[in-house]
């Protein structure tokens, strides 16, 4: 049975993992007959957002690993334990936590840096040429992980695409139901809620992307 590593970034669209995207990712992995193991960095979130009001709650601090455990039902490990040799593929759901906690792209853009443990984990899959899929805003990480010129998408947002291009990736506009696959580097990206107006549209984006991951695993990895 194939095993897929999933890196989460908290719990909640504005300061962690986008919950719909994370759950849909886990659902489609299991529906296609594979196992998943969730990981997250054991660090404090950049900040905590009140998802009812949209305001920053300056009185509260939350841990990314502990918050991610909510989505994983407690079955989660510190990302520094992730060994790509033990897995067939990697998937990163979106949510602003991917751009706030896994890296600081949300505030630093083209000058962003990654959490060192997340970067190490992602680069392991890149160096082994194992398939990896980045969803929603998570593809902003791709320029940090893969060689210059790697193809990727976050949808059609011009300003975000420009920042990503400055990191060395090459952004390609993409519809919500589609994905961009860079065959050279074996990395896939899809817009999901960067463009989706409903959970159905987000589901189509994620389902198609994960199906592509399984196609690659079947064709290239036996």
Catalytic residues, by residue number, are 136
Cβ-based neighbours of 205, under 8 Å, separated by 6 or more: 135, 176, 177, 178, 179, 190, 191, 192, 195, 196
> Buried b / exposed e across 163-193, counting CB within 10 Å, b at 16+?
bbeebebbbeebebbbbbbbeebbbbbbbbb
What the block records as the tokens of 157 is: 């947002």
Q: Which of 42, 205, 18, 217 is nearest to 128 (CA)?
A: 217
Task: Count CB neighbours of 65 within 10 A.
Answer: 21
Cβ-based neighbours of 162, under 8 Å, separated by 6 or more: 171
What the block records as the tokens of 3 is: 């095993």
């Amino acid at each position: 049975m194939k095993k897929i590593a999933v890196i989460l970034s908290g719990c909640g669209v504005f300061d962690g993992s986008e919950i719909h995207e994370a759950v849909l990712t886990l659902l489609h992995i299991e529906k296609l007959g594979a196992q998943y193991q969730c990981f997250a960095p054991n660090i404090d979130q950049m900040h905590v957002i009140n998802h009812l009001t949209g305001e920053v709650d300056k009185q509260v601090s939350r841990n990314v690993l502990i918050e991610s455990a909510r989505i994983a039902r407690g079955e989660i490990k510190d990302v520094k334990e992730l060994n790509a040799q033990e897995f067939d593929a990697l998937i990163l759901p979106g949510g602003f936590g991917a751009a706030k906690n896994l890296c600081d792209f949300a505030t630093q853009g083209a000058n962003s840096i990654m959490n060192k443990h997340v970067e190490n984990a992602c680069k392991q899959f890149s160096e082994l040429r194992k398939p990896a899929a980045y969803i929603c805003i998570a593809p902003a990480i791709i320029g940090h992980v893969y060689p210059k010129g790697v193809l990727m998408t976050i949808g059609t947002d011009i300003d975000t695409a420009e920042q990503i291009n400055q990191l060395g990736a090459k952004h390609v506009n993409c519809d919500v139901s589609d994905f961009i696959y860079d065959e050279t580097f074996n990395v896939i990206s899809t817009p999901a809620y960067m463009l989706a107006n409903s959970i159905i549209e987000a589901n189509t984006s994620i389902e198609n992307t994960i199906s592509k991951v399984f196609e690659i695993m079947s064709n290239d990895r036996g």
